[in-house]
Every structure is written in C-alpha cells, then in structure tokens.
Amino acid sequence: MTGDDTPALMWNLAVLSGWLAIGALVLAWYARRRFHALLKAPLTEEVEHQTHIWEHHIPRWTSIGLWLAGLSLLSCAAWLVF
C-alpha cells in the first residue's frame, strides 16, 4: 500500500461505513416497531419472550449504527485531509 492509496481507502471506508450505519439504524427502527407491537399483543409466554428479545435489539443496533456513522464521519474527514 502506497501513500497514494490512502485517500481512496478513506473514501471507500467512509462510504461503506455510512451505508452500514443506515442499515443498522433501520434495523434499530424495525426492532423498536416490533417491540411496541408486541407490547400491544395479548400476553402469552411466547410474546413475553419475544418482547425481551426485541427490547435488547434496540440499543444494540442503535449503538452499532451510531458507531458506524461516527466512523464514516472520521473517515470522510481523513479523506479530506489526505
């Protein structure tokens, strides 16, 4: 890898992590919708189990999405510097 490859690498990383961030935040949104739908469902053992599962997916996907968005911004800034 030479110094000439660095800007292209930073740009590719910025674009890739940006799209992955969007995907992760969409998954967080879907998990939140699913969780709220399960809260309205009649309570059974299966519904209770699924509610706990989807409740834990919300912060996980939100954290991943925000981390990837930050990585995308940092990569874009590094691309501008190089």
Tell me the pLDDT tens digit for each residue of 25-71.
999 999 999 999 999 999 999 999 999 999 999 999 999 999 999 99
> How far is 71 from 22, CA to CA, in rounded Å?
12
Amino acid (1-letter code) at residue 42 = P
The three-class DSSP label of residue 45 is helix
Tell me which residue of 22, 50, 45 sits closest to 35, measured CA to CA.
Answer: 50
User: What are 81's two structure tokens?
Assistant: 């510097």
Give the model's confidence band at 3: pLDDT under 50 very low, under 70 low, under 90 confident, else very high. low
pTM tops 0.95, yes or no:
no
1 pLDDT above the threshold of 80: no
